[in-house]
Amino acid sequence: MTDRMSDAKGFQCGDHDVCVETMLAQADAECAARGLRLTPVRRRTLEILLAEHRALGAYDVLSRLAAESLGSQPPVAYRALDFLVKAGFAHKIEALNAYTACVYPGHTHTPAFLICRSCLTVAEAGTAPNDGRLGDAARAAGFVIERTVVEATGLCPDCSAEAA
């Protein structure tokens, strides 16, 4: 995999532990630079999202936090997830009402998600804001895009191979 934001990241990872450590270090650095607090619950929530390459619902996250005595009430998970989304460390997958870690933290981008309908693995392909045909159409109309949601559903490489 390359570092180009146009590449989809998530279906395969060379060394998962290195990926997780790198993303956590980036989150720590971003928070320090921006004066944000990555509290233990927020950090652990990010770790939980990073441990999976699939989208997790708030209650999935909450059950893991509760098992570690980090909180058992829904607002604990929702506040942590809200912080991570607003800070750019996670994204909400609208089609699944679930969350996934951002694989391009610190980069301004418009994410597009490739969601496996079988195993719910999520890969993120990031593009620069206003790229592509939608950006061209918006510019031609004098429209400024503030947010887009692009989610494609299909089969990941592993599930495609199993189905064949």
- Residues 77, 5: Cα–Cα separation, whole Å: 29
- Residue-level pLDDT at 5: 43
Model confidence pLDDT, tens digit, residues 69-114: 999 999 999 999 999 999 999 999 999 999 999 887 777 777 889 9
- Residue-level pLDDT at 3: 44
In the chain, what are the domain boundaries? 8-163
> In CATH, what is the architecture of 8-163?
Orthogonal Bundle (1.10)
Q: Which pLDDT band, with edges at 50, 70 and 90, does 12 fall under? A: low
Question: Which run of H or E residues covers position 33?
Answer: helix 16-34
Per the structure block, which two tokens stand in for 44? 């652990």
- Residue-level pLDDT at 121: 87
The whole-model pTM stands at 0.82
- Residues 103, 88: Cα–Cα separation, whole Å: 10
- Residue-level pLDDT at 54: 82
Residue 157 has pLDDT above 70, yes or no: yes
